[in-house]
Structure 1
Amino acid sequence: MSHTWDPDRYLAYADERGRPFVDLLARVQAETPSVVVDLGCGPGNLTALLADRWRGASVTGIDSSPEMIAAAREIEGIDWEVGDLRDWVRPDPLALRAPVDVLVSNATLQWLPEHLDLLPGLLDRVRAGGWLAFQVPGNFDEPSHTTRTELAAREPYAEHTRDARVPTSHGPDDYARVLLDLGCEVDAWETTYLHVLSGPDRVFDWVSGTGARPTLQALPDDLRPLFEDEFRALLREAYPADASGRVIMPFRRIFVVARKAQ
């Protein structure tokens, strides 16, 4: 089931969403790459960090969302493309794509259930001695996700939401094993961030811009407000605010940096 993305809603938490990208990038030790690609670049604000770090490189941002790429094109000096990440693991008999020195994917692979099997194909696009780096959420057993899943399985919502996309990921050891078996040097780790959110229904605001968005868009207009009201109430119960109105939302993320064998 298709859905669309809203760059403005996504950027409402730009700092919090950007920190894992910065932490990932810090472990990529490429010095003077020529070709850098960001798969799943979103609105491009983080791709710009790649261009700032490697000023001599050709930097390309690719995303399947036309809305995201339209927002990204406001940033100059980077090539922007609408495209599917899975195209990068398909054979390229004409060798039209140049080998990539640094291939980055931030909070994107979790939308592809088969993404563990895609890693060998992505690595094939990386030059010998180059880098593959990605980050995925690892918080899918948290109430921010489980309450949505449970609510969406109830009537009258289930008939509309059963085919909605839901994100998923693996443990850092699973990713490390695949890439180690492919001959890479691998640095894999996880971090749990504690995001301090203020204001009413801030957890709902967060998830409605990312993980819950396909579910919300799958609902017809007459049911969506009812679902949102129930979802907000469940999230307020799961993430109670303190006396100052603050909510602390734990967010586990999984990081992998792999260097391809020379």
Structure 2
Amino acid sequence: MTLAWDPDRYLAYADERGRPFVDLVGRVAAVDPQVVVDLGCGPGNLTSLLADRWPAATITGVDSSDAMIRAASDSSAAERVAFHRADLREWLGAAPRAGVDVLVSNATLQWLPEHLDLMPALVRAVRPGGWLAFQVPGNHDQPSHTLRAELAAEPPYAAHTAGAAAPHAHGAAVYLRALQALGCEVDAWETTYLHVLHGQDPVFAWVSCTGARPTLQALPDDLRTGFEDELKARLRAAYPDEGHGVVLPFRRIFVVARTP
């Protein structure tokens, strides 16, 4: 099933989602890159930061979602960034070898189960001495994900949600070793952010436009509301609001590699 992403819902927590991107790009020491590519650019708001960082570079944003590319193309970022719709794997197959100075991918690779096998292709897309930088969520063992998976496995939902896409990532050391084996100099680290969220059922609002979205889309209309209500209740119990907002711990895994 092709996923339909919602740019407006995704941007509801733009500041929280943008902070890891800023922390990632801040560790890329490229001085004057000519070609910069953002794989999985989403609505383009973060890709525009690459144009701020390297104003002389040609910046390209790539995403597989029609809705995301439309939103990016309609944004002010389109004045400085070229946005294209393509699957990441298709882009890697068509990209000129060693044609990119800085290749960035933010919270995208976790949707590709085989993404560790893509490391050689990602490195090949970057010129010698260039930069590959990516960030993936590392919180898939947390209630924000496990509660959704548990509920989805229960009747009557299981018949519809079996096989729905779910994000997955490896630990920082796994990526470090894989890229070292390809001759890269690698800086890999992990950070757990404590996001303070407000509003009604904010954790559900967060996951409903990211990790839980494939599950929600897999459900028929007559079951989706009941699933959402039960998931909200379970998330409220796991993430209580004690009067100062709901605290959502969010582990992120970062990798910055200099190609050989």
* Distance verdict in 2 for CA 1:119–1:88, change over 3 Å: farther
Q: What's the counterpart of residue 254 of structure 2? A: 255
Counterparts of residues 89-238 of structure 1 (less than 5 Å): 89-90=92-93, 92=94, 99-238=99-238
Q: CA deviation at 1:136?
A: 0.1
CA gap of 1:98–1:131, structure 2 versus 1, over 3 A, is closer
Whichever residue aligns with residue 257 of structure 2, its letter is A
Whole-Å Cα distance in 1 between the matches of residues 190 and 58 of structure 2?
Answer: 30
Number of aligned residues: 257
Distance 1:209 1:182 in 2: 35
Distance of aligned partners of 1:77 and 1:255 in 2 relative to their CA distance in 1, 3 Å threshold: same
* Cα deviation digits, residues 108-163 of structure 1 (max 9, x gap): 00000000000111110000000000000000000000000000001100111112
Alpha-carbon distance between aligned partners in 1 of 2:37 and 2:127, rounded to the nearest angstrom:
12
Q: Which runs of 5+ in 1 are unaligned?
A: none
Out of 81, 86, 105, the residue aligned to residue 83 of structure 1 is: 86
- Post-superposition CA distance 1:232-251 (Å, at most 9, x none): 0000010011034x111100
Contact 1:88 1:122 in 2 (8 A): no
Counterpart-to-counterpart distance in 2, 1:201 and 1:240? 10
> 1:171 & 1:104 partners in 2: Cα distance?
18
Partners of 1:2 and 1:255 lie apart in 2 by: 27
- For 2:55, the aligned partner's letter is R
Aligned equivalents of 1:84 and 1:30: distance in 2?
26
Task: State the secondary structure of the residue aligned to 2:186.
Answer: strand
TM-score, L = length of structure 1:
0.96
Deviation at 1:197, TM superposition (A): 0.8
Structure 2 counterpart SS, 1:113: coil
Structure 1's 97 and 120: CA in aligned 2 closer, same or farther, altered over 3 A? closer
Percentage of identical aligned residues: 69
In structure 1, what residue type is equivalent to 2:228?
E
* DSSP 3-state at the match of 1:210: coil
CA distance in 2, matches of 1:22, 1:96: 27
| TM-score, normalised via structure 2 length | 0.97
Secondary structure (helix, strand or coil) at the match of 2:177 reads helix
Q: 1:19 is matched with which residue?
A: 19
Q: 2:64 and 2:91 mapped to 1: Cα distance? A: 12
Q: Deviations over 1:53-91 (max 9, x none)?
A: 10110000000001000000122121100001112443x
